[in-house]
A and B are shown apart, each in its own frame.
Chain A
């Protein structure tokens, strides 16, 4: 093993051997390297076969792709993908008026394009900011309509996937400045500022999201002056903003904590004030370090947006639940949930892989983890 020439000749020898022999070797080292592992391998293979065969039968062999109701599917005995086929647009866009459904569809495309752009192309911070800000503002305008001949659509009818996307990006977008101030405030030397920041962060991190949503939907109307109402969607958005803000603040604080003291002292020595020091020296470094945890927080934010169904706003999960209330598709819940799970999995898996690659490139770029 230690001898290089031996290794090289082994490699040559390896290449000349047949595929079967090589895969047998691979299996010996990776699957059957001990008695326990061999038993384990056999057990897992047995379980996979036991589970996979019925699953494939259900999902593909016995499934129905075209049907008018679930009776036809029940006769075939498998998955009822016809439900997704017939109701797919309702699941994605909810009660958004039918001839106008290209608008939420376009919103989904805009968000997908922005996500791809941000992860595949190197863009400056300013470009990213303009792109996402413009994208979100444009999407909201597109959803509202009321210009260029597009009929006005009230927020009650904004359902489905665009809602999950807007709540996530809008929530995190507004939460970001809140989080920066809270994170800076928590490290401030001024006791009143520090305690207010700590109180905000710990309050929202200490309670479940659903209580914050209840607060926004049930309690906030009581706090507004008589006669003033704010649409439920915006109140929920404020709740998400405050909630995500506290988590993002802790992510940013993590970044602030690893900035060496020398950076602060050097900036002080230059005689620039607190705000310029923070904006030009500290934050650019701290934010770069905290990007992976910021992305991770956004992933959980995206998954958390489904909680909005509990307070009666119909996102993707809410749409699936209400579609299954249709009498002719009552038994199609597995198909509906598979559909929701697949969408969330695709987005979150993509984002988490992106975050991992960021983490790797960041750890390459910096000489080492924090130096004291």
Chain B
């Protein structure tokens, strides 16, 4: 390597002493640093084994098969206190993943809207969104979560005087209750019809693009697509006699029965994370749009494109390349911030792990699992976003 040659020449020129040789030094630095890290780890491991033996804690992951014995209020898979610690952790992990996934989707929608509103020509809208962003970015997230939680838990009325924010959607101190459709055989055929519609739309879009490239004639792909995706399921629905029964939440005793009820903890965590991360996403979207030079907009206008077309065909495709990398880190931070659930009593992965740590004393094992899982999630999100980023970058000519 050129560097080594140059380095060893200099070493030789300075008297040729072997410890001046960069190759020797480089090896020395590397062996030294690895040795220090290894020694530290070994020392800590030794202390840990001595301490754990003294406190009578068995090391290893055997505790995962023991009975957990604590309740978890929100569980996606069947869980009871008689289940194992391992299953409890899985319940917590699933809760974390649900919050993260739903949170990322809602944050993207809300954040992009906010970011566009930040650039609106309406002064009042700009001011409102500016202050929204400033307030949510400049106060601690944990405080925001606690406020959301208290809002839902204490300030919200009891189930008897629940706020009906939309028909059949109730907010009370028992959480958010909303109706779900009762399953019917026709629904699966509606789904099939919709899938066929989506496939047809893709074919139509391809045909329309080819025709436009060949002849320059445009086709209303979007309208046709909406028709193809919406009409067939609707036809099936009507043909089946419109079987739509809603499982509505209704007051029974001291709480709601029926529908789906989201606990105040889950709702507070989700709202808090979305409201907070959206403020950061809004700034990313705003600066991404502003990064596209004004000349692009003017040039597109000179070509005769309408305002919506300028945004959709010229500005956004360029802005998205600026937006994707920082968006990735927002998704990552939302996922990691969902661990603040432990501060408001929602049974996410960290809360469950914390409970287990206190019950079993297996701090090292539990924290190792925690870190390994979060690292895996983080790397998976980064990898997925990198793939998307590559896909978007390919469009570049």
Q: In the complex the two chains form, is B339's CB within 8 Å of A208's CB? A: yes
A190 within 8 A of B: yes
Among B47, B134, B140, contact of A222 (Cβ-Cβ < 8 Å): B47
Among B3, B122, B138, contact of A349 (Cβ-Cβ < 8 Å): B138
Closest chain B residue to A200, Cβ basis: B37
Q: In the complex the two chains form, is A218's CB within 8 Å of B367's CB? A: yes
The interface stretch among A7-15, A116-124, A135-143, A209-217 is: A209-217
A231 within 8 A of B: no
Q: In the complex the two chains form, is A306's CB within 8 Å of B342's CB? A: no
Q: In the complex the two chains form, is B29's CB within 8 Å of A207's CB? A: no
B123 within 8 A of A: yes
From DSSP, what is the main secondary structure of chain B's interface residues?
helix
A345 within 8 A of B: yes
Among B125, B137, B350, contact of A352 (Cβ-Cβ < 8 Å): B137
Which residues of A (175-211) have their CB < 8 Å from a CB of B?
A: 189-193, 196, 202-203, 205-211
Expressed in whole angstroms, the Cα–Cα distance for A303 and B54 within the complex equals 39
Q: In the complex the two chains form, is A317's CB within 8 Å of B128's CB? A: no
Among A196, A205, A303, A340, contact of B141 (Cβ-Cβ < 8 Å): A303
Q: In the complex the two chains form, is B139's CB within 8 Å of A189's CB? A: no
Q: In the complex the two chains form, is A218's CB within 8 Å of B122's CB? A: no
Expressed in whole angstroms, the Cα–Cα distance for A348 and B128 within the complex equals 19
Closest chain A residue to B379, Cβ basis: A206
Expressed in whole angstroms, the Cα–Cα distance for A184 and B31 within the complex equals 18
Q: Which of A37, A205, A211, A225 has the most CB of B within 10 A?
A: A211
Interface size on A, residues (CB 8 A): 53
Q: In the complex the two chains form, is A210's CB within 8 Å of B342's CB? A: yes
Closest chain A residue to B377, Cβ basis: A206
Which residues of A (305-342) have their CB < 8 Å from a CB of B?
A: 306-307, 309-310, 317, 333-334, 337, 340-341
Closest chain B residue to A224, Cβ basis: B47
Expressed in whole angstroms, the Cα–Cα distance for A37 and B121 within the complex equals 8
Q: Which of B31, B123, B150, B154 has the most CB of A within 10 A?
A: B123
- Known contacts A207-B375, A215-B367; A307 and B124 CB within 8 A of each other: no
- Known contacts A193-B30, A333-B154; A303 and B139 CB within 8 A of each other: yes
Q: In the complex the two chains form, is B350's CB within 8 Å of A210's CB? A: yes
Q: In the complex the two chains form, is A352's CB within 8 Å of B343's CB? A: no
Q: In the complex the two chains form, is A192's CB within 8 Å of B350's CB? A: no
- Known contacts A189-B3, A208-B336, A306-B140; A33 and B121 CB within 8 A of each other: yes
Among A202, A211, A345, contact of B135 (Cβ-Cβ < 8 Å): A345
- Known contacts A207-B374, A225-B47, A306-B142; A44 and B3 CB within 8 A of each other: no
Expressed in whole angstroms, the Cα–Cα distance for A215 and B368 within the complex equals 9
CB-CB under 8 A from A219, the residues of chain B are: 363-364, 367
Q: In the complex the two chains form, is B375's CB within 8 Å of A30's CB? A: no
Among A207, A304, A344, contact of B370 (Cβ-Cβ < 8 Å): A207
A147 within 8 A of B: no
Q: Which of A192, A193, A222, A333 has the most CB of B within 10 A?
A: A222
Closest chain B residue to A338, Cβ basis: B147
A280 within 8 A of B: no
Q: In the complex the two chains form, is B47's CB within 8 Å of A211's CB? A: no
What's the minimum C-beta distance from B22 to chain A, rounded to whole angstroms? 9
- Known contacts A191-B30, A192-B34; A309 and B51 CB within 8 A of each other: no
Among B120, B134, B336, contact of A207 (Cβ-Cβ < 8 Å): B336
Q: In the complex the two chains form, is B125's CB within 8 Å of A44's CB? A: yes
- Known contacts A192-B33, A208-B336, A218-B357; A203 and B122 CB within 8 A of each other: no
B1-45 vs A: 1/0 string, CB under 8 Å?
001000000100000000000000010011101100100000010
What's the minimum C-beta distance from B194 to chain A, rounded to whole angstroms? 31
Q: How large is the interface on B (under 10, 10 to 19, 20 to 34, 35 or more residues)?
A: 35 or more
Q: In the complex the two chains form, is A223's CB within 8 Å of B47's CB? A: yes
Q: In the complex the two chains form, is A214's CB within 8 Å of B357's CB? A: yes
Closest chain B residue to A299, Cβ basis: B138
CB-CB under 8 A from A205, the residues of chain B are: 378
Q: In the complex the two chains form, is B350's CB within 8 Å of A196's CB? A: no
B354 within 8 A of A: yes
Q: In the complex the two chains form, is A210's CB within 8 Å of B26's CB? A: no
B255 within 8 A of A: no
Q: In the complex the two chains form, is A190's CB within 8 Å of B30's CB? A: yes
What's the minimum C-beta distance from B291 to chain A, rounded to whole angstroms? 11
What's the minimum C-beta distance from B96 to chain A, rounded to whole angstroms? 10
Q: In the complex the two chains form, is A211's CB within 8 Å of B367's CB? A: yes
Expressed in whole angstroms, the Cα–Cα distance for A222 and B55 within the complex equals 10
A153 within 8 A of B: no
B384 within 8 A of A: no
B221 within 8 A of A: no
CB-CB under 8 A from A304, the residues of chain B are: 140
What's the minimum C-beta distance from B324 to chain A, rounded to whole angstroms? 17
A266 within 8 A of B: no
Q: In the complex the two chains form, is B51's CB within 8 Å of A211's CB? A: no
- Known contacts A44-B128, A219-B367, A352-B137; A344 and B150 CB within 8 A of each other: no
Expressed in whole angstroms, the Cα–Cα distance for A202 and B26 within the complex equals 23
Q: In the complex the two chains form, is B123's CB within 8 Å of A30's CB? A: yes
Among B44, B125, B371, contact of A203 (Cβ-Cβ < 8 Å): B371
What's the minimum C-beta distance from B176 to chain A, rounded to whole angstroms? 21
CB-CB under 8 A from B238, the residues of chain A are: none
Q: In the complex the two chains form, is B336's CB within 8 Å of A193's CB? A: no
Q: In the complex the two chains form, is A349's CB within 8 Å of B371's CB? A: no
Q: In the complex the two chains form, is B367's CB within 8 Å of A214's CB? A: yes
A226 within 8 A of B: yes
The 10 closest A-B pairs by CB, nearest first: A192-B30, A348-B138, A30-B123, A208-B339, A206-B378, A223-B44, A208-B336, A303-B140, A218-B363, A206-B375
Residues of B bordering A, CB below 8 Å: 3, 10, 26, 29-31, 33-34, 37, 44, 47-48, 50-52, 54, 120-125, 128, 134-135, 137-143, 146-147, 150, 154, 336-337, 339-340, 342-343, 350, 354, 357, 363-364, 367, 370-371, 374-375, 378-379
Residues of A bordering B, CB below 8 Å: 30-31, 33, 37, 40-41, 44-45, 48, 189-193, 196, 202-203, 205-211, 214-215, 218-219, 221-226, 271, 299, 303-304, 306-307, 309-310, 317, 333-334, 337, 340-341, 344-345, 348-349, 352
- Show 23 A/B contacts (Cβ-Cβ < 8 Å), sorted by A: A41-B125, A196-B34, A206-B371, A207-B336, A208-B339, A210-B350, A211-B367, A211-B374, A214-B357, A219-B363, A219-B367, A303-B140, A303-B141, A304-B140, A306-B140, A307-B340, A310-B142, A317-B146, A344-B138, A345-B138, A345-B139, A349-B138, A352-B137
